[in-house]
Amino acid sequence: MATPRLLGISGSLRSQSTNTAVLKSLGARLGDQAEMSLFALNDIPLYNADIETEALPASVAALKEAITQADGLIICSPEYNYGTSGVLKNALDWASRPGFNSPLKNKPVLIMTSSPGVLGGVRAQSQLRETLSATLSRVICGPQIVIPGVNQKIQNGHFVDETTIEFMLAGVDHLIAEIKL
């Protein structure tokens, strides 16, 4: 099989987002086992079925095409008020259409969360898993990848915690195994 193409999606729009930094640093460590590009959600509008019916926004069409072209997704989300970010939930809602037959159907997805707090965004994990189950995507099971104290693990915009990077790479191994099934 050709090198798996992964799509990274950060749940934060912030230019200095720690979640985006985690994805970028992970992407730089994939070596030849996979290639990963990132899709920024900054231009995705709020979901509105009227807009969807009239003319799909170009940013949404690009997101859906990027998901279609990817062999698997890696999502890294912050935790906002014990759930995922509205930005990410909104993007998944757009990508989930048409219901049960969207680009997310059968797509292998690895979920990761990070937070400056001690719980690493773990409370957003179950919400994301539940949402993705409604899209019929194949969410990777295995040790949950939660990254607590993420602010202390970023240096000059790069995520540098080697133990966590190894843990994430093991998660990517699971994702690639799912892709190759």
| Residues engaged in binding ligand FNR (CB under 6 A) | 12, 14, 17-19, 78-82, 115-117, 119, 121
79 versus 178: smaller Cβ distance to ligand FNR: 79
Residue 142 beta carbon to ligand FNR: minimum distance, rounded to whole angstroms: 22
147 versus 176: smaller Cβ distance to ligand FNR: 147
- Label residue 50 exposed, middle or buried (CB < 10 Å: 0-12, 13-18, 19+): exposed
57 versus 117: smaller Cβ distance to ligand FNR: 117
Residue 123 beta carbon to ligand FNR: minimum distance, rounded to whole angstroms: 7
Q: Specify which residues 110 forms β-bridges with.
A: 74
81 versus 163: smaller Cβ distance to ligand FNR: 81
Measured CA to CA in angstroms, residue 33 lies from 3, 45, 109, 141, 174 at distances of 7, 34, 16, 20, 12
Residue 152 beta carbon to ligand FNR: minimum distance, rounded to whole angstroms: 12
